[in-house]
Chain A
Amino acid sequence: MNFTNHSVLQNFGNKLFKKKLGFTIFFLFTVLVSVAQTKIQGSIKDIHGVPISGVSIMEKNTSNNGVLSDFDGNFQMTLQKANSKLVVSYIGFASQEVTVSGNKVEVVLIENTEQLADVVVVGYGTQKKSRVTSAIASIKEKDFTRGDIRDASDLIRGKVAGLSISNGSGDPSATPNISLRGVSTLLGGAGPLVLINGVPGSIDTVAPNEIASIDVLKDASAAAIYGTRGANGVILITTKTVNKDMPSTITYSGFTSVSDFANKAKFLDAGQQRSLRSQGFTIPFADGGASTDWLKEISGSGFSQNHNLAFKGGNAKTNYIVNLNYVDQTGVFKNTFNEEYRFSFDVNHSMFNDKLRVNLGLLNGTRNMGLDEGTVGYAYRQSMIRNPTAPVYNPDGTYNEDPAKFQYYNPVAIVNETIQDRKDTWQRFTANLTLDLLPGWDVGAMFAKNRNTGFNGYAETKKHYSNTINKRNGVASRDTGNTDNDYMELTTKYHKKLDKHEFTVLGGYSYQYSMNEGFSASNYDFPTDSFSYNNLGSGNALTDGKAGMSSYKNDNKLIGFFGRLNYDFNNKYDLLVSIRREGSSKFGANYQWGNFPAVSAGWSINKESFLEDVAAINNLKIRAGYGVTGVIPNDSYMSKTLYNYSGYFFNNGQWIKGLVPASNPNPDLRWEKTTEVNIGLDFGFANNRISGSFDVYNKKTSDMLWNYGVPTPPYLFPTMTANVGKMENKGFEVLLNTIPVKTENFVWNSSMTFSHNKNKLTSLSNDLYKIEGDYLNVGNTGDPISFATHRLEVGQSIGNFWGLKSVDITTDGKWIVELPDGTRQTLTTAMYNDNNKQYLGNGIPQYYAGWTNTFSYKKFDLSVILTGAFDFQILNSQRMFYENPTIAYNMLDTAYDKVYDKAVLNYNQTYVSYYIEQGDYVKVDNVTLSYNFDVKPFKFLSAMRLYVSGNNLGTFTKYKGLDPEIKREDPLTQGMDNRDKYPSTRSFTLGLNVTF
């Protein structure tokens, strides 16, 4: 290697991997010759004012061999010519040519925004974006959302086409629901695989401030290298590293925010109730004489603070990052909170002439949470349905309860008298060793141990309804669960460039052992409240034989072999071939191993001679890929015949425990497989002021794992986990980045994402399993309505609402429904069967969109993020249950409005299409205004940034419920807006980042 040409260097500076650069520059430094003429001094910093060491400074068009900036970003050099230009280059930053005037130079390097030069993280390594042949989205730190950020998913909401992230809950301890390219598996909770620096982990375990980039492997040709769980995509989180000489820095990032419910359901208040009563309406309550705003009694403003300290330092040989993060969030409902400490430590160490590189990492976190969503959700329901004229307390100070009403409890007592302490801790040790065996060939080993522990305490005092109504005299329980994962990964990689041919070969082995264990105990009838859950043995239910106790332990193994070849010809034609062979202990003995191949190719058309000279086209690449990915079931041992002891049998005066099967065993249990074809186009025009990508895909899932219904007899249990159905997801995704305005002081960046997915269930049968009619009713409205809400039918999409189509109302307030044959009938309970039901809409948005606008004016940045979802319906269960004047509880203030402008409803709560609404919305998800301070006057500061931010500021929708961005959990019952959902919040944030 011999570089004397600056432009070549520049090119390489942009394109080489970081770790190689230091070596290259060092090499250059020793080869080039210098001739002294003019001495200059200079300093090099990034836009935050952080000095950058190891930057190459060359004198243009001379034989001057250049210098590297020192530890403090300073350099000195002697120029050969007067008025020379300096070429300043550093990996990850745009190279600059600086004209020297005088003998002092200050250079501010700007991080390389030319996306084609970016490096993206792919499975087991990185790749230049320009060489990528599959659908991968990469979001770097500078593009992360700021504001009230709870976890990594908040950083990229609306920024990755095809990735839908819905929180839909104001619960501070809620975790997001993430789905990629629609629902491709029936198993609930099957989100994308999240890898943090290559190790699987939950997306909320890593401090958002610590993250350098988030890469999303969207199609199977990219994800197949991960085989398992790759079917729902892979999210790769890369944390910040130091790979250069740098001075020690401390960066403080912090924010505080205030939150309130974005919307509140309008139930009758005391005044409205009295007014209705005086007008002669039947009110299901006696006037209790008070005026109580029950929701207000159990809620207040939420407050959160987040403080993050990052310590960085070291040199190219040994360096470290320590990150400390403290999060304290209190929810809008009383006694809901999330207090989190996250600690990470990452050290890099190079030895033996950089032949051996060692990375050691420690990630540790702990969080304490208060009342869970189930508890406050129930209190919330009670606050809605409770008599607004009832007082909170009786004159004697006890909670006012009304046992005459069914399932009717004082919500203030629920929130105040339930004690819930939930503690999670997680620990991850990782060690990465990389050995350069020969030039271009290295071998690596990764060892990691991950432990997640939950430890919870729960108690209900004697003032809780569990005692005041249910006579349990104090309830308490504790439970703990632990998951250990051991990982080992061995990889070997060979990279070679021969003339116009460049290839990388990767081979590897991966081993994962998981073990789950846990314990729980409960008791009631306590002598005192003062123990809470801390003295479980003192309850009397234990001695009465009524206390509960359980423990469990199970394990599983996952072993994979993988190989990959990347080949590039002349920077024009790229090919990727990979295979993973993976085995899981969860499957039947003959079906444990599966093969997951992938192949993809790319053609950079802009590099062809006929386009090379077209200046307006910076990038034009066609990609096509095919791959197979898999899904494993959640539980272990399902292929085995297992027995449990349960249920008592009365035998000659003795109670004897029965030996019962645990489930229907399925020795044929095997991999669910998804094959996906993805065709994409990447483009960049007009100096990359217009760039983006377009992808179309077709995903076919087969051997779909689910708990299928089996006939009883002959089976003992009515369901069995088996591989039966088939499903198809087709769609497209668009990413469009534009820079509409770019002047010296003002830049407007716009990034739009748009995606469409069409789901179709193509089979629910195979040789052994058959469902007559090829449909299943799923979902449940919840008490007191006992209807299935959805239907799963072959040839149809998942998420279809199934029910009675209301079209009119009689003068006496009975529903008139339209039957499938088009005739109309007044609804009676005799009509509650499938013959009278039909499809009423679909709960899965057909289109998702996100639009991020960033306006930079001098030192101000303003970013506005809009998100939207279109063409879907929501079952507004709050209206279904409470917009009904026949109920014995409090109701929505619209309950007495005329239905269809004709008559007041006079029909029991039931599920009809009247409550299914159009869900389309556009949301102002985040607006952030930042100011970058000029820190020159302050010696000790190297950067400072202040911002104000608003989250969930407004929603444009016709939906009458609280928030059309609903919780999306079970894939089969999408579109159900649960009446008890913790309402989403709106928050305002003030944040500060300072680097010392």
Chain B
Amino acid sequence: MKNKNIIYKFLVSGMFLLGAGCTNLDETVYDKVVAEDTKFTAEDLNSIVAPAYNSFRQIYADWDAAFNLYEDSSDLMVTPQRNGIGWGDYYITMHLHTYEAPLPHAEGNWNYLFNGVNNVNKAIFQIEQIPDLENREAVYQELKALRAIYYYLLLDNFRNVPIVTKYDFPKGYLPTQNTGKEVYDFVESELKAALPYLSDKNDSATYGKITTWAVKMTLAKLYLNAEVYIGTPKWTEALAEVNDVINSGLFSLNSNYLDNFKIKNETSPEEILSIPFDQVKAPGTSWPFRTLAAPSQATYELAGGPWNGTGGIPQFIDTYDPDDQRLKDCWLGGKQYTSKGDPIMVDGKQFEYINYMTNVNGCEPNEGYRMVKYEIGTGDIAQTSNDVPFYRLADAMMIKAECLLRTGDANGAAAIVTQIRQRNFKNTNPAKATVTGAKLLGGSVYKYGTYEAGVITNLEGGADIQYGGFLDELAWEFVGEAHRKQDLIRFGVYSTKSWFSNKANPQGAFRAILPIPQVQLERNSNLKQNPGYIQ
């Protein structure tokens, strides 16, 4: 036992020595900022706010974001299975309106939007830690208005979502789901509360920022779709908001439609709220690559072969007036040439985009026209620098026209629509720019019905669509701007008409509201799936 005691003493003394210096588990963080060790100052403000705004790019343009969602589900565009290339799968269910909860489009939109919401909450949380800050309330209100715009999109897509306004939540906190009405009220009140604090200017300082006008546009959209959201139409309220925007005199239509979508479009007088993109610093879009087929690389000298996905649905392309310049402005079709003007040859034949598609389950690489309304720069990589005009004056004017149309002033509506159309017919047939109130009130010229390999197998037509003429105008003006799903739902067409491989299915009307993503249901037991979906 004596020996044991010696050992014990040795060990204890050894441990004691070690214990003093060698139980220290300190570490050094070298390449990140440690929140606990950081005091924010007013100089950090822009960096803190940045992620809240940056989310907007993702929300609009990332994979399975708003662009894909609003267009792929619509009667304007489709991303079919491209033989040998892919796509298909969920893009097909998106087109067929057979989607259920595991849906990348829904997951993408949910994640990006709530990322935006959380980034706003995080920014507010951090700004609260800045001791001396001028205009503190204005900063909060601008961020809250931005968050309200994200919630407007959540409302539009998912309706019943949790309202979360805190970043520092207790351990284990699971948000509870709010009703569509609650979300609607939240968006409305937040936007209205912010209005007094926001800039009512339209200059380089407000570019890409939330201004009075961006808020009014959002309120207008909220009221425009109020009947869908809460069952109560609010046309006059919508009209009042866009009238403010239009009458501000700060915005004017571009004389050329395509000026809205140029690479250098940040000086566009028509834009009300833009999402700034930059090929290098702020990437996120990849329109040319998502839509064009590989041989078009030679046309634009693209840095890489494009991915051959989305194409225009032939039935929609057929609705254009041939003199409407927007057909050529927006769509690439026919025989294809290199940038030098030589024919592009594939397997011995000149490559040609045809206004024809087989069906959603299998299209050849050259089937369907391709959307090119965003200017494609020579040598572009998969990212583009065109800013996205999220709200533009034409949008405000069309809301006004729709409100007038729906409240009995069809001719007033027609005058506005005519005004917008003029730039698209001025070089072809100016007379055709004029539309009548009757036409807007009447049916759609879209030959709805199931389409298979160039043949409409059960013609439904669009004559029975109320305000169908106006719905067509919305399509021609805003195709590819992530509007269409909302418009189809508001005009009652989303589940009642067939187009391409999609069959009318009134029982599927519940799909106007997207399924809550499966993973969110799995992770937050407070969330219930939206009605109609497999629970």
Contacts and interface: CB of A to CB of B under 8 A. Distances in A.
Contact of A642 (B29, B174, B294): B29
A652 B204 CA distance: 5
Nearest to B275: A650
A441 B7 contact: yes
A946 B394 CA distance: 86
A833 B11 contact: no
A834 B522 CA distance: 13
A494 interface: yes
A908 B51 contact: no
B454 interface: no
B305 A403 contact: yes
A848 B280 CA distance: 52
Q: Considering residues B27, B117, B172, B205, which has the most beta carbons from chain A within 10 angstroms of its beta carbon? A: B27
B524 A640 contact: no
B465 interface: no
B237 to A, nearest CB: 29
Interface in A750-784: 767-773, 775-777, 783-784
B321 interface: no
A274 to B, nearest CB: 16
B84 A889 contact: yes
Interface in B506-529: 518-525, 527
A627 B113 CA distance: 47
Interface stretch (A95-103, A231-239, A554-562): A554-562
A469 B14 CA distance: 67
Contacts of B104: 786
B301 A471 contact: yes
Contacts of A716: 115, 118-119, 122
B33 to A, nearest CB: 4
Contacts of A713: 114, 117-118, 162, 164, 175
A659 B294 contact: no
A887 B204 CA distance: 51
Contacts of B348: 286
Contacts of A441: 3, 7
A658 B25 contact: no
Nearest to B380: A471
A768 B171 contact: yes
A714 B169 contact: yes
A545 B522 CA distance: 42
Contacts of B379: 471
Contact of B46 (A649, A665, A710): A649
B33 A405 contact: no
Interface string A531-560: 000000000000011100001111111010
A469 B304 contact: yes
Interface stretch (A198-206, A504-512, A960-968): A504-512
B102 A659 contact: no
Q: Considering residues A284, A650, A888, which has the most beta carbons from chain B within 10 angstroms of its beta carbon? A: A650
A265 interface: no
B307 A406 contact: yes
A488 B351 CA distance: 69
Contacts of B25: 557, 559, 583-585, 592
B453 interface: no
B92 A709 contact: no
Interface residues of B, number: 108
A662 interface: yes
B30 A711 contact: no
A640 B34 contact: yes
A664 to B, nearest CB: 10
B420 interface: no
Contact of A585 (B27, B122, B278): B27
Interface stretch (B15-23, B241-249, B395-403, B484-492): B15-23
Contacts, number: 275
Given A834-B102, A888-B83, A712 B115 contact: yes
A404 interface: yes
A650 B276 contact: yes
B31 A554 contact: yes
A832 B93 contact: yes
B36 A492 contact: no
B85 A784 contact: yes
Interface in A910-956: 910
Contacts of B46: 649, 651, 656
A650 B207 contact: yes
B535 to A, nearest CB: 11
A492 B164 contact: no
A352 interface: no
Q: Considering residues B7, B166, B293, which has the most beta carbons from chain A within 10 angstroms of its beta carbon? A: B7
B308 interface: yes
Nearest to A554: B30
Interface string B32-56: 1111101000001011111101100
Given A641-B34, A716-B118, A829 B22 contact: no
A494 B33 contact: no
B295 interface: yes
A659 B361 contact: no
A767 B172 contact: yes
Interface in A845-893: 886-889
Contact of A772 (B54, B90, B301, B525): B525
A709 B98 contact: no
Given A585-B25, A768-B172, A406 B294 contact: yes
A644 B26 CA distance: 21
B133 interface: no
B50 A551 contact: no
A643 B282 contact: no
Interface in A611-653: 636-637, 640-645, 647-653
Contacts of B331: none
Given A557-B26, A647-B51, A714 B525 contact: no
A284 B524 CA distance: 48
A889 B110 CA distance: 36
Nearest to A884: B84
A660 interface: yes
A492 B534 contact: no
Contact of A785 (B82, B89, B114, B521): B89
Contact of A658 (B50, B81, B280): B50
Contact of B93 (A470, A712, A829): A829
Interface in A408-462: 438, 441, 443
B523 A511 contact: no
A638 to B, nearest CB: 11
Given A441-B3, A832-B93, A649 B54 contact: yes
A582 B29 CA distance: 22
Contacts of B419: none
Given A492-B11, A640-B35, A657 B47 contact: yes
A490 interface: yes
A648 B281 contact: yes
A154 to B, nearest CB: 37
Contact of B27 (A544, A556, A655): A556
B442 interface: no
B7 A494 contact: yes
29 contacts: A403-B297, A403-B298, A404-B351, A406-B82, A406-B305, A406-B308, A471-B303, A494-B3, A507-B11, A507-B14, A509-B14, A555-B30, A559-B23, A645-B33, A650-B278, A651-B50, A656-B47, A662-B32, A711-B523, A712-B114, A767-B172, A768-B171, A768-B172, A772-B525, A777-B102, A829-B88, A888-B83, A888-B365, A910-B89
Given A471-B301, A835-B100, 8 more contacts: A507-B14, A509-B18, A553-B30, A554-B30, A650-B53, A657-B50, A772-B523, A830-B96
Going nearest first, the 5 A-B pairs with the smallest beta carbon separation are A888-B84, A784-B86, A658-B50, A649-B50, A641-B35
Interface of B: 3, 7, 10-11, 14-15, 18, 22-36, 38, 44, 46-51, 53-54, 81-90, 92-93, 96, 98, 100-102, 104, 110-111, 114-115, 117-119, 122, 126, 162, 164, 166, 169, 171-175, 204-205, 207-209, 276, 278, 280-282, 293-295, 297-298, 301-305, 307-308, 346-348, 351, 361-362, 365, 379, 518-525, 527, 534
